Structure 1
Amino acid sequence: MSTHALVSPVSVTDGAVTHDVDFIRPQLRSTGLRRIVLHAGVQINGAPHLGTNVMQTSAFLLAAAARDRFGVDVGLRFGALDNAPFETRASPRTGAVYQRSFHHALGATEVERLTRHFYGDLFETLSAVTGVPYEIETYTAQQAQRAFREEFLASLAKMDRLRWVLAPSHGNAPTSHPCPRCGWSEKSGDHTELLAADLHRASFSAVCVDHGRFEVDVTPESPAYIGLTTLHRNLVKERVAARDAAALPVIVKGADWATGCRLLDEAFMTWSGSVPPPRIFTPVVLSDSGAKLSKTLINAGTADLSAETEPWMLDATKWNGTVPRYAQTLVGLVSLMLSDPRHFERGYTTREVARLISRGDISTMTTASGGSRS
């Protein structure tokens, strides 16, 4: 594949890193593990935009590159965020904002259907192209596991220090618990109180907008649902992933997560001897103003998009063609980005993506290691 279509600035890792998958190598060598599991995310709150699918395609291609360069077994685990808010309302008495998640509003069956609708065929095609197996796990299923609850309880024991890492400006890192009768939970957690906690149990008092005050006991076995702030949730998830003694966890996130991961790294340090998992940051897709493409900007009509921005870049379901052809376009685009770290460690406007596609340089479906699989 020709790379002259791209002109990118020199990376700070120039001369030290020839492929972004090599960021995994230090911990792979130090642990001696022969299996890698890459962890990435899946949003189910509407159709994915191009930036989301670039990150997910990157995860497949990075896994294939790790397999080919390091000779290890690989897998992909996508976390489906069914805890995203589905509906919101305010308390007429206090003004506090309450929300109900996709899981609590729609149920597990509908969440599964939405996940298949937005990602099923694409992931199956990407898996076939790269030879990388994958699985999808909802946040609801993950937070119900014993390991997640044990790590959550352990984090509460360190919360006097952790809260100033997870929220340096104000030290407020609340938990939220949906009402067991209706599923509504207070967004800010201002009226949620931790009554008692140790490594085996935590008791909370919370307020429902309709049913008043209720209490929740969280234990490794209890059914109580745990809602956490974004950084707290990711800290617990990464510590759970690090429990896997047979595989090295690798976190794959969009480059907009880099600043947040600085805080996650510091949070890991509150456990003596704890080492954060390696992370790889993928290119973000930008509007003409330089803002990251997001559902919020798209829905608000403030994304500042160029005339070259195709509808499918904002909503993948508007792709005018087959899913295999869409996957081919994504694989070609991301393979071009992965051809040099300076191409991968940057952002791309929708205008630039349109230019690259129009050149025809990404029409051949390839894996990250360069071998054609079409």
Structure 2
Amino acid sequence: MNTARIAPVSPVSVTTGAVEHSVDFIRPRLLASGHDRVSLYAGVQINGAPHLGTSVMQTSAFLLARTARDKFGVDVTLRFGALDNAGCETRRCPRTGTRYERSFRHALGGERIQELIRTYYGGFFDALSAITGVPHEIETYTQQQSRPDFRQEFLESLTRMDALRWVLAPSHGKVPMSPPCPRCGWAQKQGEHTEVLAAGPGHAELAAVCLDHGGYVARVRADGTDGADEAYIGSGTLHRNLLKERVAAREDALAVVVKGADWAAGCRLLDEAFLCYPQAVLPARLFTPVVLSASGAKLSKSLIRAGRTEATAGSEPWMLDAGAWPGTVEEYARLLLGLVTLMLSEPRHFERGYTTLEVARLIDAAGLRIGAPA
């Protein structure tokens, strides 16, 4: 593919002249750490069929991993976190209006979660892995939060919450923590009535309230003991990502966090949170392009489900719902690889957003048709 002839038209980037490929952003950290392995971490949503923006981020992760392997001579692994803790059902207290939520894991169970992961991502990831030669792993949040290293980080964060709360929630200092009710799996969305009763390096106790079953105490142990009263750790987005990134930093590899560029503002707060720990080293990050709707807002599953967003006129239905793709999974993977290769051809093309109409134009200009090789 001659990318120069069909490349996007992008404004000059502030990194022009300093960065030739977006993967070079991790080179300083790799040199400083001396690691010979790189682990890239990215997310997988299971709350419905992925849209094009999700597929672009995940395809970017595979291509960035392959380039890091070939350019830096390191072993690479892609680790995807499946967010089975995403909200599946919502209720409100009729008296107070407090919002309660039950996650996909608690509403559907483990077997159904694995089925959803296979349905939405199994074939797509296998195809990307086969083409790029990059191995990948998928771990659910349920599995991750049960491990001792995650629980240890959660417990330490509680001991530092006086500082963390004004970083993770600078407007009000309230960091949501919402351990689900052990009897039904429902939890307060914002954890309004969650209270930390005790917190230490070995264990913690949190009091919470269920709409149906009243008050309960959630107990978290550092060793991740599977006791009958062992709590499922529920926390807000920023707090949860802080814990996940600190766990990733424990690995004997350079941990690289891959997120859509819409996460950039949130990562400013995460980096500030890291600095609340002594001798903290900020994580290496790579941001991928966002795909935009007709309004200029990024594609959003929640807005798509609510019927409040649409693809730009002239683009394709499968851009909002990958399940509407008319070809094979392998063809979808090849198309995404060709598209993201265009975006990665220069950092200025990678450091921007693309409307669905512009994506359609690039696909047409590059000849990335169904069945055509990328």
1:106-125 deviation per Cα after TM superposition (whole angstroms, max 9, x unaligned): 00000000000000000000
In structure 2, the partner of 1:240 is: 247
Count of paired positions: 367
Aligned residues of 1:38 and 1:75 also touching (Cα < 8 A): yes
1:74-121 deviation per Cα after TM superposition (whole angstroms, max 9, x unaligned): 000000000001101112343211110000000000000000000000
- The runs of 5 or more residues in structure 1 that have no matched partner are 367-372
Counterpart secondary structure, 2:240:
helix
Displacement after TM superposition at 1:201 (Å)? 1.2
Aligned residues of 1:82 and 1:101 also touching (Cα < 8 A): yes
Counterpart secondary structure, 2:196:
strand
How many Å separate the matches in 2 of 1:48 and 1:339? Answer: 25
Aligned residues of 1:2 and 1:361 also touching (Cα < 8 A): no
Q: How does 1:1-374 map to 2 (within 5 A)?
A: 1-5=2-6, 6-220=8-222, 221-222=224-225, 223-244=230-251, 246-362=252-368
How many Å separate the matches in 1 of 2:367 and 2:119? Answer: 29
1:209-266 deviation per Cα after TM superposition (whole angstroms, max 9, x unaligned): 111111111112243101111000000000000001x211000000000010011111
Aligned residues of 2:57 and 2:259 also touching (Cα < 8 A): yes
How many Å separate the matches in 2 of 1:365 and 1:137? Answer: 31
How many Å separate the matches in 1 of 2:317 and 2:310? Answer: 14
* Cα RMSD (Å): 1.6
1:258-280 deviation per Cα after TM superposition (whole angstroms, max 9, x unaligned): 01001111110011211111100
1:139-183 deviation per Cα after TM superposition (whole angstroms, max 9, x unaligned): 000000000000011111110010000011111102101111111
Counterpart secondary structure, 1:3:
helix
Give, as a single letter, the amino acid of the residue that structure 1 aligns with 2:206. Answer: F
How many Å separate the matches in 2 of 1:55 and 1:305? Answer: 18
Aligned residues of 2:50 and 2:322 also touching (Cα < 8 A): yes
Displacement after TM superposition at 1:319 (Å)? 0.2
How many Å separate the matches in 2 of 1:206 and 1:19? Answer: 48
Aligned residues of 2:310 and 2:320 also touching (Cα < 8 A): no
Displacement after TM superposition at 1:365 (Å)? 11
Displacement after TM superposition at 1:361 (Å)? 4.5
In structure 2, the partner of 1:370 is: none
Displacement after TM superposition at 1:363 (Å)? 6.0
How many Å separate the matches in 2 of 1:30 and 1:362? Answer: 40
1:23-64 deviation per Cα after TM superposition (whole angstroms, max 9, x unaligned): 111110011100000000000000000000000000000000
Counterpart secondary structure, 2:330:
helix
How many Å separate the matches in 2 of 1:242 and 1:198? Answer: 22
Give, as a single letter, the amino acid of the residue that structure 1 aligns with 2:194. Answer: T
Give, as a single letter, the amino acid of the residue that structure 2 aligns with 1:7. Answer: V
Give, as a single letter, the amino acid of the residue that structure 2 aligns with 1:4. Answer: R
Q: TM-score, normalised by structure 1?
A: 0.95
Give, as a single letter, the amino acid of the residue that structure 2 aligns with 1:43. Answer: Q
Give, as a single letter, the amino acid of the residue that structure 1 aligns with 2:340. Answer: V
How many Å separate the matches in 2 of 1:292 and 1:48? Answer: 13
How many Å separate the matches in 2 of 1:293 and 1:234? Answer: 21
Give, as a single letter, the amino acid of the residue that structure 2 aligns with 1:230. Answer: T
Displacement after TM superposition at 1:362 (Å)? 4.2
How many Å separate the matches in 2 of 1:38 and 1:364? Answer: 29
Counterpart secondary structure, 2:5:
coil
How many Å separate the matches in 1 of 2:276 and 2:368? Answer: 45
How many Å separate the matches in 1 of 2:176 and 2:295? Answer: 34
Give, as a single letter, the amino acid of the residue that structure 1 aligns with 2:236. Answer: T
How many Å separate the matches in 2 of 1:2 and 1:53? Answer: 20
How many Å separate the matches in 1 of 2:367 and 2:317? Answer: 21
Q: Which segment is superposed worse, 229-238 or 300-309?
A: 300-309
| CA shift in 2, pair 1:18/1:365, >3 Å | farther
Give, as a single letter, the amino acid of the residue that structure 2 aligns with 1:336. Answer: L
Displacement after TM superposition at 1:309 (Å)? 2.2
Q: Which segment is superposed worse, 150-159 or 295-304?
A: 295-304
Give, as a single letter, the amino acid of the residue that structure 1 aligns with 2:116. Answer: L
Aligned residues of 2:311 and 2:319 also touching (Cα < 8 A): no
